[in-house]
Amino acid sequence: MDEKIRVLLVDDEEQFVKNMARILKVRGFDISTAFSGYEAMDAIEAGGEFDVIILDVKMPGMDGVDTLREIKKRLPDTQVIMLTGHATLSSGTEAMREGAYDYLMKPCDVEDLTEKIKEANEVESIKRHPVLWTRQSVEEVTLLSFKKLKPEDPVIDALKIFDTKTRKMVVEEVYIQDHEDRFIGIVTKKDLLNEAQNANPEISIDWNHLMENPKLLPPLTLGQVMRPDRPITASPEESLTETAQRMITNNVRCMPVVKDGKVQGIVRMQDILQYVEHEIE
């Protein structure tokens, strides 16, 4: 439990790599660096053992997606987090299809990156040691107390939930429910960022900028910006094994728990892992 997470940071921007490596080392990670896809492959071929790899999408020569493909051939269970800019967002989604764990937009929030590294490492451990899963039910680890969002609530309420300074877990989407606790839609970080950018076309807004300046969001309700998508859900009777594997497959760290069409609470990957570790000890 006290072993440092071994991270390989790959980016052609040397100053960014040096600064980020220093920050992540202070946070307790074991950091190695590479300044190109070729250097990353050399580090792996030389026997470097990494729990998580952070990889920039846009690099000269061997770009991030090509490097990702080669990494997955050699280290299929190692999780890769991609870094992408606004102009290469489509490459970020392509990387997800190629097996990346997740991607963050640059400049990325250090706290977001820190949490994603920890989550990716947990998933990597699960894939390598699946026998550690217990057969307990979702109901036992369901979090019943969570912020319920309604369509008439202001969009800034969703922004507060995404704030990693007040929450210990990176949240990717929030769920909008009607007054009978039934799902009617979701709101993602990208949805909020798009609304802020559309309301302020004269400036370029990234996620960090929006978190520091929430007034950039227009005075809309969640019902006006939500997507009518249904999230992946778990049932109270479902085993933790099944739920965890579906979380890994669908790249989510949180699932609503639904019974008879109504939301009972949420189940989080971090809670499942803590339960498993308790059982093992």
Residue 204, domain extent: 138-280
Q: Encoding tokens for residue 22? A: 């220093």
Rounded to two decimals, the pTM is 0.55
Closest C-alpha to 162, from 187, 197, 196, 141: 187
The pLDDT, as a whole number, for residue 19 is 92
Cis peptide before 107 (omega within 30 of 0): yes
218-253 pLDDT, tens digit per residue, is 999 999 999 887 778 888 888 887 887 788 777 777
The pLDDT, as a whole number, for residue 280 is 38
Which residues of the chain, if any, have pLDDT below 50?
A: 1, 87, 131-132, 277-281
The structure tokens 């051939």 sit at 73
Domain boundary among 128, 157, 186: 128
The pLDDT, as a whole number, for residue 41 is 94
Closest C-alpha to 123, from 230, 250, 234: 250
Closest C-alpha to 152, from 225, 222, 227: 222
Domain boundary among 89, 105, 128: 128
Answer yes or no: is 174 within a domain: yes
CATH of the domain at 194: 3.10.580.10
13-31 pLDDT, tens digit per residue, is 999 999 999 999 999 999 9
User: Which residues is 81 bridged to in the sheet?
Assistant: 54, 102
The pLDDT, as a whole number, for residue 94 is 67
Same-domain status, 117 and 213? no
The pLDDT, as a whole number, for residue 104 is 81
Same-domain status, 189 and 88? no
Same-domain status, 163 and 220? yes
The CA distance from 204 to 174, in Å, is 24
Same-domain status, 44 and 23? yes
